[in-house]
Amino acid sequence: MECVILRLLLKLEPRMSTDNLSKEQQIMIMMRKILGAVVRDTTPQPGMKQPLSENTINSIKDCFALIAAREKELAEEAGIDNQMKPRYIDEPSTSKVVSIDKIGMMNSADTDTKK
């Protein structure tokens, strides 16, 4: 079982720097990734029977909630104000998407006006 978990950890962990994260934060990141992978791997196709029991599904949901709550506590203790929330598609966007092509045109327009 340990080998399977170790392979899962190595497969799921992107090559990001975790030097500035505590062991507890690293563990929570990995647990969230593993739980997510288990959910993805066990989610049946439409019309198929769910392989997990209702108790197991609820336990996984509870684990996600506990991880999120502890991450929030740690962020607050560290003085990090995390006000991120999902944005629904019908909400107005506060960001503006700029095409890479337009960036080149904007730069050439700036140099033309400076001449």
**Domain count within the chain:** 1
Q: How far is the C-alpha of 76 from the C-alpha of 72, rounded, in Å? A: 6
What pTM was estimated for this model as a whole?
A: 0.55
Q: How far is the C-alpha of 4 from the C-alpha of 85, rounded, in Å? A: 34
- What pLDDT score does 61 carry? 93
- What pLDDT score does 7 carry? 46
Q: How far is the C-alpha of 96 from the C-alpha of 98, rounded, in Å? A: 6
Q: Which two structure tokens, joined as six digits, stand for 72?
A: 């929030």
Q: Which two structure tokens, joined as six digits, stand for 58?
A: 């609820």
**pLDDT tens for the 115 residues of the chain, in order:** 444 444 444 454 444 455 677 888 888 889 999 999 999 999 988 899 989 999 999 999 999 999 989 988 888 887 776 666 677 778 787 777 777 776 666 655 555 555 5
* Residue range(s) defining the domain that contains residue 86: 2-114
How many Cα atoms sit within 13 Å of 11 on the Cβ side? 8
